[in-house]
Amino acid sequence: MKADQPGLGFRKDGILRGFEVDVGTYIARHLGASRVTFQEVRSDNREQKLNDHVVDLVLASYSITPDRARLVSFGGPYYVAHQDVMVRRGQTRIKGVRDLAGRKMCEASGSVSTERVVTGLSIPAQLVPGASYSDCVAKLRRGTVDAVSTGDLVLAGFAAPDLRILNAPFTDEQYGVGMRKGDIEGCERVNRAITTMYQDGTAGRLLRKWFGHSGIQLVESVPQFEGCTE
């Protein structure tokens, strides 16, 4: 889990809380785990933590991409987020992703979200490195950057009176459960657990619990799985 993303995974008073913490616990219980131990990861060390056997599953706003799928296996996705943009409340000139051209946008270490903007959409934003999305949001508040762009669930967790989400999504981010490469049986079991989580109403309840106040559109139907392959 990440420990610095409010709403998804955030450590407070020594305890991790958030949507991904609850989803991870649900999946682990359905896999038969009698005890769940949480370890903190960052965007730039998730593969290493898995391959070093420090963790068995990663739920950390871990977008499924072809490059990452060559390194790890993915269950799910357990949610399809939509990439959006967050700006300071008084910023009115940025109305959509195209308005990021020439603007300073924070690039969280290990994340692929800025690549989708600069490379995927050919928008020439000025990238400013950040250690994590919590660091990026801090830079946004200080005025060091003009915008932060990533999945709407991540942005929703940081929502505050001085910040706003444009609510102008422009792509999808499939959040998957990372596991060691080639664990097909584990992937299939994870997918069955995710299906049950949506069918029994747990997923919808957790989404409303953590993000119902944010104003973003939440999807409570079972996501289309990528499939478990070598």
**Could you confirm whether domain 4-80+173-211 is CATH 3.30.420.10?**
no
Given pLDDT bands bounded at 50, 70 and 90, which one contains residue 164? very high
pLDDT greater at residue 197 or residue 226: 197
Statement: residue 230 has pLDDT above 80: no
pLDDT the model gives residue 215: 82
DSSP annotation of 223 reads P
H/E segment holding residue 172:
strand 171-180
Given pLDDT bands bounded at 50, 70 and 90, which one contains residue 159? confident
- Which of 48, 46, 24, 45 shows the shortest CA–CA distance to 35? 24
pLDDT the model gives residue 223: 95
pLDDT the model gives residue 227: 86
pLDDT the model gives residue 72: 95
Distances in whole angstroms, Cα of residue 140 to Cα of each of 67, 84, 89:
29, 15, 11
Question: Do residues 56 and 145 touch, judged by C-beta distance below 8 A?
Answer: no
CATH 3.40.190.10 in the chain is located at 4-80+173-211, 82-171
pLDDT the model gives residue 222: 94
pTM (predicted TM-score): 0.88
Q: For residues 179-198, give the mean pLDDT.
A: 96
Q: Which two tokens stand for residue 73?
A: 């296996």
The residues pairing with 15 across neighbouring beta strands, listed in sequence order, are 12
Q: Which two tokens stand for residue 207?
A: 């989404």
Q: How does strand 126-130 pair with strand 104-108?
A: parallel
Q: How many helices (H) and strands (E) does the chain have?
A: 8, 9
- Which of 134, 103, 145, 104 shows the shortest CA–CA distance to 8? 134
Statement: residue 24 has pLDDT above 90: yes
CATH architecture of residue range(s) 82-171: 3-Layer(aba) Sandwich (3.40)
Q: For residues 39-68, give the mean pLDDT.
A: 94
Given pLDDT bands bounded at 50, 70 and 90, which one contains residue 172? confident
H/E segment holding residue 190:
helix 184-199
User: What does the pLDDT look like over 120-156, one tens digit per residue?
Assistant: 999 999 999 999 999 999 999 999 999 999 999 999 9
pLDDT the model gives residue 37: 93
211 contacts: CB under 8 Å, gap ≥ 6: 7, 19, 153, 156, 157, 218
The residues pairing with 104 across neighbouring beta strands, listed in sequence order, are 126
